[in-house]
Chains A and B, each alone.
Chain A
Amino acid sequence: MTVQSDRMSHHLSFTGFAWRNLWRRRLRTLLTLCGIGMAIGAFVGLVGFSRSFEHEWLQMYLSSGTDIAVVQQTFLNTSMDESAGITLKALPSVAQATPMILNLMDLTQDVNALAYGWMADSYEFESLTLKSGRRFKDGKPEVMLGDLLAENLKKNAGDTLEIQGSSFTVAGIYHGGSALEAGAVILPLDQMQKLGSLQGKVTAFHVRLRPAPPGESPDHYIARAQAEIEAALPGLRAVPAAERASNNQIVLLAHAAAWGTSSIAMLIGILGIANTMAMSVFERTREIGILRALGWKRWRILLLIQTEAAALGLAGGVLGIAVGWGALRLLAALPQTSSIVSASFPLLLLVEALGIAVLAGLAAGLVPAWRGARLSPVEALRHD
């Protein structure tokens, strides 16, 4: 009975056979896994970072209730006249319009943060929760710190903060719904203008619309409001919040950099698998001949080699996801980057990473598999 169960434990499956072939050269397999793992890790880390950035941006708009952002043609230009707000507020569809400046500032040698210039009566404060202190006052050298940034800077309400050579009092500490707020510093708009010599200029107006009239769909209403704003303010763009979150220069640049860098890493990973599979097929030429002699068809040889390549890709993908997840956690914890990235890990990214890893394996295995499948049994059996 024991002997029988022992025999039965040695079922040979197709995938088990593929696994044995990979495992016979453990070091090479593990090194290849590291290569593809690093490539997928780079993809997960970089693309995850850029998507997280986009997500946080959208979250910020959603939590503040901003429907439309009015901007210059170029995104980060703080060149719009603040006076445009008067025209904007007079439009029938506009409930509230608040000017703002956005910038990235070095607060210490190690900590940089997004800096917002807001009016003290901006509706955007409604989405923030004051944890200590109070809201700043316009015209005063005061700031409010997001709780994440305050923790990184070790500042409390009442402390002093040096920004670009000027002293500011920390009026309050707030909690924001997104990392872009929690890791940011908010200054009075006039103070921000003074710091950047941008008197009378703003980056954007954030607009809350009045409720849509009965019978009009939200999308149609927003499109109509966009047209109304752009007609009233020629040369400016009215961009729906969701579009501005996903389609602004910073996010697009982050996406492009992430995809560009991870594509190069993926190419290196694919070459690594291709090299491993090519060597493996060469070393196993005679074994492929044996399989062909035993009646294995060409497509089955191709399938075996592609299964091995895909398994390498999949295992590398799992490793890469772990590496990428770790990198994202690290970025979310580092003071330099915590203000623009959260540690959230979207399921879609995981599925994409695994899919790309398997496809990379299959692409890398294609030529070696084709070469293996083409071998004549007689020639392969003669191979030393």
Chain B
Amino acid sequence: MTSPLLEVRDLRKNYDDGRIEALRGVDLSISAGDYVAISGPSGSGKSTLLQLLGGLDNPTSGEVLFQDAKLGSAIDLDSYRSQQVGFIFQAFYLLPTLRAIENVQVPMLAGIQQANHRAQRAAALLCEMGLEDRMNQYPNELSAGERQRVAIARALANNPAILLADEPTGNLDSMNSARIMEILTGIQKQRGMTLIVVTHENEIANAAPRHIRIRDGRIEGMPEP
């Protein structure tokens, strides 16, 4: 039996000096290449779980293991985010002073690739997203759907093992939502990446092979993978 890519053991996260318990003992195991949807009502802890899986924050207790190595001790969180994880946010979070092609290069600035290679890779990723004619535009010149596609290209820049998407369709109309999910699932299948999507949309959650529901900081039901 192969070891999981990501494993979560008794994960807890408190805020406001313990007055708010966002996660209350979560156990979870995710294999390489899985497509997992995490859903739940507002304040249920789903985004907090995604942040801890992505190494954006440290848990109050419990542990997150990536390939059996504990995040924050055996693996440096910055390196983990840079090399193993690609983030996609609801609000896109593109840098407004940079063109689309430059936004995609930002994660690569933390690495050692040469400028030519960075630009070539960014251009190739944007072409893959169908944005070959939009790569020199600034974010405010792009539609919401185009911005999210740029954000996906940026998430793929360092060829991560895991894609973490926090409400990736939350700011999009239904047509663009469908297109974005098509792109994300396509990437997951073609590249064998692990895709974890946090969503409050049942249609998207139910379409995932594995659907985790969270309520009050605990996993409500977890079908077998």
Contact A17 to B98, CB < 8 A, known contacts A6-B136, A378-B51: yes
Chain A window 354-384, contacts with chain B (Cβ cutoff 8 Å), 1 for yes, 0 for no:
0000000000000000000000111001000
Residues of A near B135 (CB, < 8 A) are: 7, 10
Is B116 an interface residue when CB atoms closer than 8 A count as contact?
yes
The size bracket of the interface on B is: 35 or more
Is A1 an interface residue when CB atoms closer than 8 A count as contact?
no
Which of B78-86, B199-207, B210-218 sits within the interface? B78-86
B56 touches A377 (CB 8 A): yes
B136 touches A294 (CB 8 A): no
Which of B62-70, B104-112, B169-177 sits within the interface? B104-112
A295 touches B97 (CB 8 A): no
B110 touches A24 (CB 8 A): no
- Among B96-141, those with CB < 8 Å from A are 96-99, 101-102, 105-107, 109-110, 115-116, 118-120, 123, 132, 135-136
A144 to B24, CA, bound (A): 97
Is A131 an interface residue when CB atoms closer than 8 A count as contact?
no
B93 touches A8 (CB 8 A): no
Contact A376 to B154, CB < 8 A, known contacts A10-B136, A294-B110: no
The closest CB in chain A to the CB of B87 belongs to: A293
Residues of B near A297 (CB, < 8 A) are: 78, 82, 110
Residues of A near B54 (CB, < 8 A) are: 293
Is B148 an interface residue when CB atoms closer than 8 A count as contact?
no
Is B194 an interface residue when CB atoms closer than 8 A count as contact?
no
B154 touches A294 (CB 8 A): yes
Is B158 an interface residue when CB atoms closer than 8 A count as contact?
yes
A378 to B158, CA, bound (A): 21
A12 touches B78 (CB 8 A): no
The size bracket of the interface on A is: 20 to 34
The closest CB in chain B to the CB of A13 belongs to: B115
- Among A287-321, those with CB < 8 Å from B are 287, 290-298, 300
Is B57 an interface residue when CB atoms closer than 8 A count as contact?
yes
B residues with CB within 8 A of A: 51, 54, 56-57, 78-83, 85, 87, 89, 93, 95-99, 101-102, 105-107, 109-110, 115-116, 118-120, 123, 132, 135-136, 154, 158
B57 touches A378 (CB 8 A): yes
Is A348 an interface residue when CB atoms closer than 8 A count as contact?
no
Contact A298 to B97, CB < 8 A, known contacts A8-B119, A12-B102: no
Residues of B near A295 (CB, < 8 A) are: 78-83, 85, 107, 110, 158
Partner of A7, one of B96, B123, B154: B123
A292 to B83, CA, bound (A): 13
- Name 26 interchain pairs, CB-CB below 8 A, sorted by A: A7-B119, A8-B123, A10-B101, A10-B119, A12-B101, A12-B106, A12-B109, A13-B109, A13-B115, A17-B109, A20-B97, A20-B98, A23-B97, A24-B97, A291-B106, A293-B87, A294-B82, A294-B106, A295-B79, A295-B107, A296-B78, A297-B78, A376-B57, A377-B57, A378-B51, A381-B56
Partner of A293, one of B56, B97, B116: B56
A376 to B123, CA, bound (A): 31
A276 to B132, CA, bound (A): 37
Is A255 an interface residue when CB atoms closer than 8 A count as contact?
no
Chain A window 109-122, contacts with chain B (Cβ cutoff 8 Å), 1 for yes, 0 for no:
00000000000000
Is A286 an interface residue when CB atoms closer than 8 A count as contact?
yes
A8 touches B116 (CB 8 A): yes
Residues of B near A6 (CB, < 8 A) are: 136
The closest CB in chain B to the CB of A16 belongs to: B102
Contact A7 to B101, CB < 8 A, known contacts A377-B57, A378-B57: yes
- Among A1-39, those with CB < 8 Å from B are 3, 6-8, 10-14, 17, 20-21, 23-24
The closest CB in chain A to the CB of B99 belongs to: A10
Residues of A near B101 (CB, < 8 A) are: 7, 10, 12
B51 touches A296 (CB 8 A): no
A12 to B113, CA, bound (A): 12
A65 to B160, CA, bound (A): 76
A298 to B136, CA, bound (A): 29
Question: Quick one: which of B79, B97, B105 has the most chain A CB within 10 A?
Answer: B97
A12 touches B118 (CB 8 A): yes
A14 to B114, CA, bound (A): 12
A290 to B82, CA, bound (A): 12
Residues of B near A300 (CB, < 8 A) are: 109-110
A10 touches B56 (CB 8 A): no
Q: How far is the CB of B32 from chain A (nearest CB, A)?
A: 20
B119 touches A296 (CB 8 A): no
Q: How far is the CB of A379 from chain B (nearest CB, A)?
A: 9
Q: Which 4 A-B pairs have the closest CB atoms?
A: A295-B82, A12-B105, A295-B81, A12-B102
B87 touches A12 (CB 8 A): no
A17 to B204, CA, bound (A): 36
Q: How far is the CB of A92 from chain B (nearest CB, A)?
A: 74
Q: How far is the CB of A6 from chain B (nearest CB, A)?
A: 7
Residues of B near A11 (CB, < 8 A) are: 105, 115-116, 118-119
A119 to B40, CA, bound (A): 102
Partner of A378, one of B56, B78, B106, B120: B56
Residues of B near A290 (CB, < 8 A) are: 93, 95
Q: How far is the CB of B178 from chain A (nearest CB, A)?
A: 26
Residues of B near A8 (CB, < 8 A) are: 116, 119-120, 123
